[in-house]
Structures are given as C-alpha cells and as structure tokens.
Amino acid sequence: MFLHKVENDYFDVLTKKYIHPEQLTEKSRYSLSGDSVYVLDTIRNKINEKEMYVVLTITTSCNLACAYCFENGTIRHAINEKTLSEVIHNIEKYIIENGIKKLHCTLFGGEPLLEEQLVAKFTTVLHEFCKDNEILLTFSMTTNGLIANKSLLEKLYQNSLTCVQVTFDGPKEMNNRRRRSRNISVKDPYTTILKNLNTFLSIFDTVNIKYNFDKQNLDEFDIFLNDLLEVVQSQYIGKIVILVEAIQGTHNSHYSYNYRNTDEELAKAYITIISKLVDANIKYRSKIFNTPCMATAPNSFLIDPDGNCSCCISNFQKNELFIGNFSQVTRSRSLSTRTELNRLDLLRSHCRNCDFLAGCWGGCLYELSVNGKECTKNVNCRKNFFEKAVDLFYHEIYLKKGVDKID
C-alpha cells in the first residue's frame, strides 16, 4: 500500500480508499524508498503484460464543432478500407506474437458513427477473431450522441461493444454554445442527444456520461443533472456512470482550470460535483487521479486514420508521444518508447518520497507537451492538488456520507 495520512486515518493511493489504522498490518505498510519507482514499474508491466488496449480513430470528421477540441487544426478524414484491413491484421498479429489474452478497443473520432460500415467491419472481424482464439474482447465507443441508428447499435452490441461514452459541457445554453452542430438545421444538439440517451441505454450495459466542467459551468451542474433525470427513463438510471472531468489547458481552451495556480479551487469543484452525485445515488468516476495512463502502458496504442500510432489518446502529430506506423510496431519498439516516457530515473530523483507517486507517475505527458515542456525530461507535480482533494473528500464525503473510495 502507498499510504497518505489524513488526520487519524490513511488514504491508500493504489486503491483510492480510506483505511482505519487498525485495518493495517505491518506487511501492508509500504515504506517509500529510492526503489519505489522501479517496484511500481515492474508491477504495472506485469499487470499489463497480457492485455492490449487499442483506441482506433475511425475518422477525425465530426458533426459537432467543439471550441476546445484537441483535434482542431488536423485534416478531417476517415480511415480507408485498405488501411482498416491492415490495422485489423496487425492487431491480430500483435495478439498472437505477444500472447495477449485480453483486448479492449475503443472506437474514437471525430464521430465514429459517421462511418457506419467501417465501424461494423472493425467490430465484426475482431469479434470473430477473438472468439476463435479465446481472447477476452470488449469494445467501447466515444460518441457525441447525435446519431442513434438502433439497428447498427444492436449489431455493435452483438459484436461485444458494451459501453458508450457521451459528453456534455453543461445544460442546454452552455452546451450548445460550446458544442455547436456543423449542420445548421440542428439548432439544439443538447436536446437531441439527451433524447438519444434512452436508445443507447436500452441497448448497452453502461453509458458513461462525461461532464466537462470549468469555472463557467460548474454552478450549472444541478440544472444539467435535473435535465438528465427528467429525460432518462427510470429503469435505465442504474446503467449510467457520470464521468467528472475538469477541462484542462490546451492550445484551444481558454476557459479551463490550471493545476498550478488553482489547486484548492479545482479540488473543491470536484468534491462539490461528486457530493451531489453521491446524494443522488448515481454512479460516478472522476479524473482526480488520471495518471498513470495508456501513455506509459506497453500494449496500449492510439491509431489514427492513416494507420500511425501514438501513446496518448489526446495526441495527434506530437513527436514526443509518437511511436510509428502500426504496421511496423513490435512490443520491443513499444517498450523502448514507453521506457523513455516512464522517466524512471527522473521520477526517482523528483518523486521517490511522494505519497502520491502510485497515482500520479509524474503527471500528464500530454499536458506537459502542450505547455511547451519536453515531456521525457519534466514532471508535472500535482501533489498539492491531490492533498487538497483527498482532504476535502475525507471531510465532506467519507465522514459525512460514508463513502470510503474516490472513484
């Protein structure tokens, strides 16, 4: 356990749970040392050794025009049939060569449902391959929710797609201002997407509803939550998970939070929203702890429509996080890239005595990159933010509401 003291209790950074001292044994108390970084890295590699995570950007084209999208400025196009077939073949080859036992694929965009035939082909072929080779397969999809072709969605569910994610940026007025439709005939995407949620919920096991918050829309979360509960049919509420995430600084975001100067404010914002969801008995997951992530996991790849792959889901054409064309990627090449990105010697010197090492891993590589820092040679310390968030959760939710885990 990696433990952080909170008054008379402890917070276990690995499990994100609060623990009473009497629950601890001497074996469970892990003392930080110079070797902690290497111990954690070995554990993570062992856990990820037989699992593969692929995020496929089916298309960068989108029917929304979100102001802060990290893909703004990229050439908008879909993967072609030839490249898609090559990607599928190389995923299968990577699985066989590396003894992968679990495959998770996320369909990403742009908007993946703009390319129905490509989405159907990708999921069908891999579903059959994994079935024939006894590979545990799960698909998920990130969609803006404007398109809800029920026959296609049912086909995707048959192909092991069990979870979809839909994003909102506040209630109606705020959301429609930030997430504008490219189709001028769609005047109110917010209402359309809300109504489509019932279609998604009638088919899939889980619908993750991501709420992007910042200083402008934090106080409007109650309005959004009321809208959601009014529209979603009651039998589906248990399938919903609210993903709580602050909009962080990117080259396209001018109204976001910044970890470096608003740690306490940001922590309060997270705990405020989480507290409301706990009161409403709605499941949630937060991005309080968002690293380590796929960027440092050896079998994880973001593949773009040209067949090139990177380490990070937010990364497009950023050299520091680029691996190469997926047709040429081997595990040894991936490991070589991740070894550099893991910055083990740097973490050993900067972070070895930090209680939050296991839940931070030097911070977000993408955020370092967009802020002009060489991500392999810098850390993005978030210790102060973690301390504020863990302390606030302890007092406002753990002690008052009996919830002992930060999801």
Name residues whose C-beta falls within 8 Å of residue 270's C-beta, 6 or more positions apart in sequence.
244, 246, 286, 288, 389
Domain ranges of the chain: 3-42+342-401, 49-335
Q: Are 8 and 395 in contact (CB under 8 A)?
A: no
What CATH fold (topology level) applies to the domain 49-335? TIM Barrel (3.20.20)
pLDDT digits (tens, 9 = 90+) for 349-378: 988 889 999 899 999 888 888 778 888 899
CA 398/CA 16 separation, integer angstroms: 12
Burial class from Cβ neighbours inside 10 Å (0-12, 13-18, 19+) for residue 15 reads middle
Q: How confident is the model at residue 322 (pLDDT cuts 50, 70, 90)?
A: confident
Give the pairing of strands 300-303 and 51-57. parallel
Coil/strand/helix, residue 107:
strand
DSSP one-letter code for 70: T
pTM of the predicted structure, to 2 decimals: 0.93
Coil/strand/helix, residue 124:
helix
Q: Hey, how many other C-beta atoms are within 10 angstroms of the C-beta on 75?
A: 11
Q: Are 328 and 255 in contact (CB under 8 A)?
A: no
Q: How confident is the model at residue 78 (pLDDT cuts 50, 70, 90)?
A: very high
pLDDT digits (tens, 9 = 90+) for 177-190: 989 898 877 889 99
Coil/strand/helix, residue 189:
helix
The position carrying tokens 């694929």 is 105
CA 159/CA 27 separation, integer angstroms: 44
Q: Reply yes or no on whether the pLDDT at 68 is more than 90.
A: no
What mean pLDDT is predicted for residues 255-274?
78
Alpha helices in 8-149 (DSSP H): 36-48, 81-98, 116-132
Burial class from Cβ neighbours inside 10 Å (0-12, 13-18, 19+) for residue 288 reads buried
Q: Reply yes or no on whether the pLDDT at 144 is more than 70.
A: yes
Q: Hey, how many other C-beta atoms are within 10 angstroms of the C-beta on 39?
A: 12
Determine the distance from the C-alpha atom of residue 322 to the mean position of all C-alpha atoms in its chain, rounded to a whole number: 19
